[in-house]
Structure 1
């Protein structure tokens, strides 16, 4: 039986005694070998110290059938098929499991962040723009401080050296220096199999090529399809100036930036509100409302604003509006941006410029903070609670939303439509006149709307629906390399064998990556190994390559780590957890 939460774990003194190391970080290196890209390329550390052959039978325990949480076949057939393929391979090596399909968002999200009731779990991460900055995966996801209930360290992974490097990359303002540390973290992640990343699918979009010209890679942000501000402001139609965009969602919950807490919420609000920067097609911050950004020192950033920008009610956008927006959302803990505002200790407005003082160096400031915090009109929000008799500004309906973005609110029918019109004098004035989100209950219905000509664009098309788009005249199927991930997680809170890097490495060699690419994604995916995908070109470490499918190598890794098999072929794992 796997060790349960709350049972003793290997303590610091025992860890140091067993490895001869003087620090916990050094001990982890000695035990698991934090060499680049998987050490010798065969799953073993470079120095070969990971061997523990000949474990006495009384120190071995027969592995139970594991709970393997996945998505439902009806909701995500591709996800379900991937886990079924992995389950079969694990079974061949004496590791039985039961697939536990769960519906998204519930109970799947509750399993991820609250109950943590799983042994293994298949997780799909989409390529949202903010995840291009390495802070999300290397700090929010992998740092041990985020392993608490509700945190993104879903597997409970702990590694002292990785924590130290994660904190360091958060502080490095120089991008080349930061990149070097980000590369080092990826080596540790891959060696430890903190997340067993195995796939990065291309983003499939169907669009009406009779009405639209593809904006080109220079105007598309990785993972965003046609929905990024760069794409929506540059795309052109052949006639009518109208663009209808299909979205699978039953309703739009709010237009209030202080209530938004998900990427879906932000996607609907973003066209109405400017930010100082945007994550651009390069995956790095590009000026938006800012005309210039000067980093005076590691904790002082001065932003000069573009001239002549106005809110949708005609009032000018001033430095005071920007300073107010940052203070107001920090004080009211706006859920989507609260974390990004934590480093700000002071903000002051000058003549057309804003100065940010940070409590400590914060590398993601230009991407995650200035690229995410919406600029609010002070005259609308300063007295919003008193004027609307509410206790919290998050309760303000904010309809219509008044921002300074490239699109202005036109109309909304809950559950079916959100329409907006172009702002002709915006610095990034759109080439189209009208943009509409049309909502559908499922992907099949949305795909039929595309085939019928009711919408012009549908992103994230599953392989099962691509054929109809590919075969229809006037429609084009487009694929974009992105930075989304498909990964296997081990619940390390349950102790052995999940806490053993050798066990996690072995299972990585059992995942038929290329077969999944071919059978599930029709060849439109990239085999993965690093938590920073290849589509995130600047931050991806090209030396961190995917493990190949190699069941014999998996068996060898387990044997050298002291595992064995009983007469029924069931895996027996060491109970002392000393590997």
Structure 2
């Protein structure tokens, strides 16, 4: 379980006090549950006091603990022996243990309301739940921590990284058994097989897309996670003093993941300095070994990769002007001529090969998709910018999308003598990016200024990349990030002119409030990054597909979007691939739909029962044996009827799917 000092709030958030929204009208502890879970007589209820004497068939264990159900190749022997960082036990006939649900208030302006909605949905099934508000860096740190989630549910919006917008793999491959980022311990053998197969298709995009769409179909039907919604990106910025904002899907017009707005902005006054407010600070100036978030994104203004992502989510040239697969395991790229580092030294092919080898040698965390597929590199030419060959360890279709867009190139002459790069914090980071470093004060400010040698300042390049969003003109001279205490202070600073833009996201209401002065405009963009409620699949309850399907049907996603988000989000089934990725998205993936009555029927037929107070209990007797059968390896992706199990309810009717 999570140590107490990591909890911002736990039981302090009590849905019993919240009645103005119907999905926030959570069950009232020991009273009132009959209206949500059904009365005990109609649900096969029984006395909770009998749980210690539950009927357990001979040869069936009376309890099942959370454990690693598979030998994970990403875990060492010690971690495997220690087990998951979470205790949760299923006991025959016993009430469900409290389901812990973590989120971070820092993630989105409405994250707390979403967490309360999820708690209410679980309560509506008769299960106790507790929500835990964690600092965002702790929540996201689990994506680097292979042992797994520290709570049964973990809610967060995936970041607006370009790699999530240009292809499906960033959101799907973490579900592979071999992925070091599979921290919810989900594994489906067919999905694993399909992911491996599509990864080897380097030429036939349609064939690869067909396999990716099959993965989505399986994942959604299996309820591999709860994909709550794809929230619109909402923010606010000064449009009286600046024009040229680019509403890139995912980051929107003002977040840090892309630099298209900053290189396209045209000042309408004499002030060519652009100030962004932020509530998140950087921890270092070491981009390749950052843990994601603020420092990785902002330092991308200083560093370039081989290729970039356009606002249309296409892969376009950056340090490399072209290239691709020569054969299934060989990639060659042509490098841009005339590029200079911020210290004036020329960029060379040696910088590319050095960067990749250096990253692999020292396990650079933020550029794994770039170096991991590569076995060796060769310099084929040094003229006209140069040509570099990458010899891959095997066919890897994602190398020319996620790999090259996620790449970072560092100067060999600055890094070659760094012996401990993971601990290194350059006091003057040097890159080739559109902006060069000026100064940084941790927790206060970060400043960069324009580097004219970069191609992104070219009207010709920008007009081709940006289309209708292109603005011609002299552009801005510098970008300054200033740390602001909270969203309220941010809005005040924007309205007073202390900052020019909100460097993060706002709620719809906040953006409306911020845009009251005529100089400020509310801005929106669509999103390819879902709000993903991850489920810890080492937990016996989560391994029961009957419970997962019932849970999916108990959540009123659209109701939440309509009321709390004013309709500013896309809702679909449990599919992590957005319709914005039209080549890859499967519009026919399973959607279970909101129906709490059907959800309770599913659980009742699977043998779950409710006591007189409305609390849900694990099955007992033959229904408990059926539960234990459903959660075994090979069965966790099957419904009760697929295993030939009977209807254990006291009533009869049409099977709910």
- Are residues 172 and 561 of structure 1, via their aligned partners in 2, closer, same or farther at CA, if it must alter by over 3 Å? farther
Aligned to 2:189: 160
Aligned to 1:447: 491
Tell me the secondary structure at the aligned position of residue 163 of structure 2: helix
The offset of 1:112, in angstroms, is: 9.3
Tell me the secondary structure at the aligned position of residue 110 of structure 2: helix
The offset of 1:74, in angstroms, is: 8.6
Aligned to 2:559: 515
Maintained 8 Å contact 1:513/1:548: no
Aligned to 1:297: 327
The offset of 1:498, in angstroms, is: 1.4
Deviates more, 1:121-130 or 1:297-306: 121-130
Residue pairs, 1:120-199, within 5 angstroms: 120-132=153-165, 133-140=167-174, 142-146=175-179, 151-174=180-203, 175-199=205-229
Q: Matched residues in 2 for 1:120 and 1:396: separation?
A: 35
Aligned to 1:49: none
Residue pairs, 1:135-534, within 5 angstroms: 135-140=169-174, 142-146=175-179, 151-174=180-203, 175-217=205-247, 220-226=248-254, 227=256, 228-239=258-269, 240-250=271-281, 252-349=282-379, 350-351=381-382, 352-382=386-416, 384-385=417-418, 391-429=419-457, 431-458=475-502, 459-495=504-540, 497-529=541-573, 530-534=575-579
Maintained 8 Å contact 1:68/1:120: yes
Among 86, 95, 98, the residue aligned to 1:66: 98
The offset of 1:110, in angstroms, is: 5.8
Aligned to 2:16: none
Q: Matched residues in 2 for 1:277 and 1:109: separation?
A: 27
Maintained 8 Å contact 2:105/2:134: no
Q: Matched residues in 2 for 1:328 and 1:78: separation?
A: 41
Q: Matched residues in 1 for 2:202 and 2:144: separation?
A: 32
The offset of 1:77, in angstroms, is: 6.1
The offset of 1:328, in angstroms, is: 1.9
- Are residues 7 and 426 of structure 1, via their aligned partners in 2, closer, same or farther at CA, if it must alter by over 3 Å? closer
- Are residues 553 and 284 of structure 1, via their aligned partners in 2, closer, same or farther at CA, if it must alter by over 3 Å? farther
Q: Matched residues in 1 for 2:265 and 2:142: separation?
A: 39
- Are residues 105 and 276 of structure 1, via their aligned partners in 2, closer, same or farther at CA, if it must alter by over 3 Å? closer
Unaligned runs of 5+ in 2: 1-61, 71-90, 459-474, 631-639, 641-657
Aligned to 2:64: 3
1:83 pairs with 2:115: yes
**Aligned residue-pair number:** 515
Q: Matched residues in 1 for 2:314 and 2:545: separation?
A: 33
Q: Matched residues in 1 for 2:156 and 2:173: separation?
A: 18
- Are residues 491 and 477 of structure 1, via their aligned partners in 2, closer, same or farther at CA, if it must alter by over 3 Å? same
Q: Kindly report the root-mean-square deviation, in angstroms, between the aligned alpha carbons of the 2 structures.
A: 2.7
- Are residues 330 and 241 of structure 1, via their aligned partners in 2, closer, same or farther at CA, if it must alter by over 3 Å? same
Deviates more, 1:373-382 or 1:270-279: 373-382
The offset of 1:8, in angstroms, is: 7.8
Stretches (4+) displaced over 4 A: 72-77, 107-115
Aligned to 2:466: none
TM-score between the two structures when normalised by the length of structure 2:
0.73
Maintained 8 Å contact 2:245/2:253: no
Maintained 8 Å contact 1:223/1:484: no
The offset of 1:570, in angstroms, is: 3.4
Q: Matched residues in 1 for 2:410 and 2:368: separation?
A: 15
The offset of 1:533, in angstroms, is: 2.2
**Residue deviations 1:170-223, cap 9 Å, x none?**
222233222111111111110011111121110111110101224345xx2533
The offset of 1:309, in angstroms, is: 1.2
Tell me the secondary structure at the aligned position of residue 255 of structure 1: coil
Q: Matched residues in 2 for 1:511 and 1:92: separation?
A: 9
**Residue deviations 1:14-42, cap 9 Å, x none?**
xxxxxxxxxxxxxxxxxxxxxxxxxxxxx
Q: Matched residues in 2 for 1:75 and 1:134: separation?
A: 22
Maintained 8 Å contact 2:252/2:524: no
